[in-house]
Chain A
Amino acid sequence: MAGASGREDQRDGPPLVSLRGIVKRFGTLTANDHVDLDIRAGEIHALLGENGAGKSTLVKILFGLLQPNEGEIRWQGQPVTLANPEDAGRLGIGMVFQHFSLFDNLTVAENIAVALPKGEDMRSIAARIASVGERYGLALEPGRPVWTLSAGERQRIEIVRALLREPRLLILDEPTSVLTPQEADTLFVTLEKLAAGGCGLLYITHRLEEVKRLCSGATVMRAGKVVAACDPRQESVRRLASLMVGSEVMEVRAAAAHQLGPVRFELNKLSLAPDEIHGVALKGVDLAVRGGEIVGVAGVAGNGQAELFAAMSGESRAEKAGAVRIDGADAGRDDIDARRRRKAAFVPEERNGHAAAPRLTLSENVVLSRHATGGVARHGLVDASAAKAVAAEISRVFDVRKGRVDPPAGTLSGGNLQKFVVGREILREPGVLIVNQPTWGVDAGAAATIRQALIDLAARGAAVVVISQDLDEIFAIADRIAVIHDGHLSATYPAREIDREKIGLLMAGTAEERPHAA
């Protein structure tokens, strides 16, 4: 981009940016502990680490959103202070955030214009969008309203927005988390072109395959510290993973061979209008899950997963009683508690605020989902000591680490709270378990515990539905896989017979509608 000359002469000079001894503390937590990082012009550099390793903190420091407690930032060898994102922008540091900050009701061009200096007219912005789009393969229609676009298209807006400011260093935070595999491929081509043009790229991810494919340098973080700086092309995925996690990666044990039981959970032509504007309507969803199996529902975020979960749990009721059947009984008109009494259990995506009330204690959060099914509430009164006993049992069986006996749920780490909310349902020994994003944002150890518990529950005869945006997770635990796209659920495919490519096409909504596989 601007001022970038060829790649070779920059190899020898100082790096484009280097961080030296960065320390950032939040209270007692040291999020970054003497972190060093170098990025050269023309390099795609991976920043690897699990959730909570300190990647986001480091990136916010580099983008001027946070100030380090100690350490130095050098830009082409010169020490600089980045007091705010404007300072970073002036140097040529751009960022594409994981969560989009777009106005749904504005057009593509308008969304880009708000991020540019004032005074440029819309026609010239549209022309620049077109020229950048052409150069880097980022096709966008400037006049389209954003709410009509897919996640991949929305991300392109964010990228174009950053590119129009002609960055010399572009930071991308988990850019593929909302993309189909095919959309991710398109993104990689763009990123390679950018690097070839002399732009430095910092690529934050925990997806190792992408790193091996794309990046020429990698910095691995764990618990706030840099544990390795390496060339990912020379390392195996397994070794990168163990660097990230700090031990050999735990894998789940497949269940012993067991017989599938009768259908325990069924959706029949379930259609539902969305609660919210720009929500997704469910369109004639069919699904049948037998006792003893796990069905994975894959899909790109925002394609109706939240609505599907609400319809299955009873948070949204169906119009026809027969649209949802639990153990052969019509349950479509039941509310969530009535479905729980039919031995169904549910774990929503959001731990804090949906699956648990963060300021209530763990034992109170036991009452939250268990009051209708006995044990912790009787005759309208809460049995606090019984709830405490259940909370203690969950904590013991699922190894929930906590500072006190019965702390507020919000004080637990993500992984521990997730183990708690999953354990709370599994220890009820439900006949049907519906879980949305069971391991989103939790550490590898907790994720393995949770996945194993799901597999074991199914092996004991329960019907399990796992909605997840993590394809690796779905392949690790599901017996059959369906894909949700724009409120449609595809047919299910045996996990052994379907490959990522096929799922990617289904996720993008481009596969044939009714395949003959069952």
Chain B
Amino acid sequence: MRLELVPRGDVSPWARVLAPVAAVIAAVLIGGVVIAVMGRSPAAAFQVYFVDTLSESWGLQEMAVKATPLLIIAVGLSFCFRASLWNIGAEGQFIIGALVGSILPLYTAGSGAGFWVIPLALVMGALGGLAYAMIPALLRVTFGVSEILSSLMLVYVADLVLDYLVRGPWRDPKGFNFPQTVNFDATLPFLADGGRLHAGVLLGPVLVLVAWFVISRTLFGFGVRVAGEAPKAARFAGFDANRMVLAAFAISGAAAGLAGVLEVLGQIGQLKPGISSGYGFTAITVAFLGRLHPLGMVFGALVVALTVIGGESAQIALKLPLDLTRTFQGVLLMCVLAADALVSYRVRIVTMARA
């Protein structure tokens, strides 16, 4: 006996939309079983994880703040992934974006420089991420180096550069030798009281709309889709494959860099090690959770942000380990991929019965 995947002929668009929702429900059920096996009450965990977070202003604000970098990075990555380019190094582009975007705030700290620092810092952050993403892109275009390895390895380089700067040249002289910079003056304004909802959150939806327009309406977006679907057809259409690699990496690098500088100026207010907590990697989950569709990724980013915040709350209230959150994210991604496969294919059990 064995299992066979048989393609389904016609799949309704509704099935495709509902599949991720079903996946989330399945993941929650599996998570409940895991918690029960650990000897805790799944109902209490559900309350802490989801109900509390979603019913308080603080929780909702925190969700938006966490979802924003994930969403922005994922929207950028979707250009690469749609073109079948595997940029795994958004984490590094995020860090370099944060670094480059911090130059102006760092050197203007305490000087009373005006509001102009913020927009410039955002642009510099995006350019920093873009430049860093050009390394794997150019390596691929000129030498045929696998972008998967080069972009991933550059994450560690970026991490160490950040570490060097905050422990060395950029360290706050009055910071009791902690590896961190001074507190910046140029930080993003808050939008609400009683939480950390900062103005950078507004950029998320804007970028989603722009990305949706580019992918679905422009010739460039069309080229990205064709390049991923059928590379030979893209060549036949006259889309230059190398230019496509550079453009997709530029977009995803700029988005990750922008997310990096937003995180520093919106939430942290200074540079220090560990500014990212893995946003660049988690965003890959978000991108696929949202089926690489701009609106889908909004859903994906919110769900993942919810699991992160819920996981923190559960850690405090129920003493559940943080690893559980990661496990849950893993289960969620598996469920989404499975739901995806089940929408497109029917599982058939083949027995060795005689004809």
Binding site for B on A (CB under 8 A): 27-28, 67-72, 81, 83, 313-315, 335-337, 340, 346, 348, 350, 353-360, 364, 367-369, 371-372, 377, 380-382, 384
Contact = CB atoms under 8 A, between A and B. Distances in A.
Given A358-B230, A360-B226, A69 B219 contact: no
A364 B222 contact: yes
B352 A69 contact: no
Contact of B218 (A314, A335, A372, A380): A380
B232 interface: yes
Contacts of A71: 355
B6 interface: yes
A475 to B, nearest CB: 29
B225 A368 contact: no
Given A72-B355, A335-B238, A368-B236, A357 B226 contact: yes
Contacts of B9: 27-28
A207 B270 CA distance: 77
A367 B232 contact: no
B354 interface: yes
A72 B355 CA distance: 7
Interface of B: 6, 9, 217-220, 222, 225-226, 229-230, 232-238, 240, 352, 354-355
B355 A350 contact: no
A83 B352 contact: yes
24 contacts: A69-B355, A72-B355, A83-B352, A313-B236, A314-B238, A335-B240, A336-B235, A340-B238, A346-B236, A348-B236, A354-B232, A354-B236, A355-B233, A355-B236, A356-B233, A357-B234, A364-B222, A368-B226, A368-B236, A368-B237, A369-B236, A381-B217, A381-B218, A384-B217
B232 A67 contact: no
B236 A372 contact: no
B60 to A, nearest CB: 37
A60 to B, nearest CB: 14
Contact of A354 (B225, B233, B352): B233
Contacts of A368: 226, 233, 236-237
A336 B355 contact: no
A189 to B, nearest CB: 38
A356 B6 CA distance: 24
B141 to A, nearest CB: 16
A81 B354 contact: yes
B142 to A, nearest CB: 17
Nearest to B354: A81
Given A69-B355, A70-B355, A71-B355, A336 B236 contact: yes
Given A67-B355, A359-B230, 20 more contacts: A71-B355, A81-B354, A314-B238, A315-B236, A336-B236, A336-B238, A340-B238, A348-B236, A350-B232, A353-B232, A355-B236, A356-B230, A356-B233, A358-B230, A360-B225, A368-B226, A368-B233, A369-B237, A371-B237, A382-B218
Q: Is the interface of B mostly helix, strand, loop or mixed?
A: helix
Given A27-B6, A68-B355, A377 B219 contact: yes
A359 B227 CA distance: 12
Nearest to A359: B229
A369 B236 CA distance: 7
Contacts of B218: 380-382
A67 B350 CA distance: 10
B229 A382 contact: no
A337 B223 CA distance: 14
Q: Which of B222, B230, B232, B354 has the most CB of A within 10 A?
A: B230
Contacts of A70: 355
A367 B233 contact: no
Contacts of A367: 219, 222
Contacts of B220: 380
B8 to A, nearest CB: 9
A382 B222 contact: yes
B115 to A, nearest CB: 34
A348 B230 CA distance: 14
A350 B236 CA distance: 11
B229 A360 contact: yes
A369 B354 CA distance: 50
Given A357-B226, A368-B226, A315 B219 contact: no
A221 to B, nearest CB: 19
Nearest to A71: B355
A313 B235 CA distance: 11
Contacts of A359: 229-230
Contacts of B238: 314, 335-337, 340, 371-372
A15 B229 CA distance: 49
Contacts of A356: 230, 233
Q: Which of A71, A369, A381, A384 has the most CB of B within 10 A?
A: A381
A353 B236 CA distance: 10
B82 to A, nearest CB: 12
Nearest to B227: A357
Nearest to A368: B237
Contacts of A360: 225-226, 229
Nearest to A378: B219
B113 to A, nearest CB: 38
Contact of A353 (B219, B230, B352): B230
A384 B217 CA distance: 8
Contacts of B230: 353-354, 356-359
A75 to B, nearest CB: 14
Contacts of B234: 357
A109 B232 CA distance: 35
B233 A353 contact: yes
B219 A81 contact: no
A355 B220 CA distance: 19
A371 B219 contact: yes
Instruction: Enumerate the 4 nearest inter-chain pairs by beta-carbon distance, A residue then B residue, closest first.
Output: A337-B238, A357-B230, A357-B233, A354-B232
